[in-house]
Chain A
Amino acid sequence: MSRFCQMLPRPDGSNARFFNTLRYWHGLCISLLCTGCFFWPPFIEVQPNAPPVIEYSSPEADDVFRIDTRQGGVAWVSVYDDDEGDVMDYLWTINGLGPQGSATSFVSGNYQGSAITLPQDPIYHGRVLTCTVFDTAGASARRTWTIEVETGA
Chain B
Amino acid sequence: MIVWMAAIWAGCASVEKALDMSASDGPGGAELDATANQLRIDIIPGETTPWLDKQSWVADPNTEWGELEIDILPSVRITGQVLGYSPTPYGAEVPGADQTPVLATVALVRDGTISGASVTTDEAGFFAISVPPARGYTMTIIPHDAETLPFMATVNADFESAEDLGQIDLGYGEPVHGVVLESSLVPVAGATLHLVDQATGAIGGTVQTDDDGRYLLRALPGEYTIVVKGQAGRAIPRLARTIEVVDGVGATVEFNMGSLQTASVYGQVVDTETSQAIRDVRIRFSSDDLIDGPGTLTIETETDGDGIFNRSLLPGNWTAELIPEFDTDWAPTRVAFTVSRDANNLDLGQLQLPDRISFSSVAVDDASTPVAGAAVNARELGFDGYIYSTTTADDGRFVLFLPPSPVSLMVDPPGEELAVTNVFVNPAGEPGSVLVPRGQRVEGQITSVGAGVGFALIEVRDIAGTLYATALTDPNGRFHLRMESF
Contact = CB atoms under 8 A, between A and B. Distances in A.
A99 B327 contact: yes
B386 A101 contact: yes
A51 B302 CA distance: 38
B205 A153 contact: yes
B118 A152 contact: yes
Interface in B457-478: 457, 459, 465, 467, 470-472, 474
A91 to B, nearest CB: 8
Interface stretch (B17-25, B103-111, B181-189): B103-111
A89 B377 CA distance: 12
Interface stretch (A6-14, A31-39, A57-65): A57-65
Given A98-B326, A152-B105, A107 B412 contact: yes
Contacts of B472: 78, 106, 108-109, 111, 113
Interface residues of B, number: 62
Contacts of B465: 71
Contacts, number: 139
B389 A103 contact: yes
Interface residues of A, number: 40
B47 A60 contact: yes
Contacts of A85: 373, 394
B457 A88 contact: no
Which of A69, A112, A151 counts the most chain B CB atoms within 10 A?
Answer: A69
B42 interface: yes
Contacts of A61: 47
B107 A69 contact: yes
Contacts of A153: 104-105, 142-144, 146, 151, 204-206
Contact of B107 (A88, A99, A152): A152
B218 interface: no
Contact of B375 (A74, A76, A105): A105
A104 B325 contact: no
Contacts of A58: 44-47, 54, 456-457
A77 to B, nearest CB: 9
A114 interface: yes
A90 B412 CA distance: 16
B47 A102 contact: no
Contacts of A150: 105, 117-120
Interface of A: 55-61, 68-71, 74, 76, 78, 85, 87-90, 98-109, 111-115, 150-153
27 contacts: A55-B455, A56-B46, A56-B455, A58-B47, A58-B456, A68-B107, A68-B117, A69-B118, A71-B116, A71-B465, A74-B42, A74-B114, A74-B457, A76-B457, A85-B373, A98-B325, A100-B326, A106-B412, A107-B413, A108-B479, A108-B481, A109-B414, A115-B44, A151-B105, A152-B120, A153-B205, A153-B206
Q: Which 10 A-B pairs have the closest CB atoms?
A: A153-B205, A152-B105, A101-B386, A101-B326, A106-B470, A60-B47, A108-B472, A99-B327, A108-B471, A105-B389
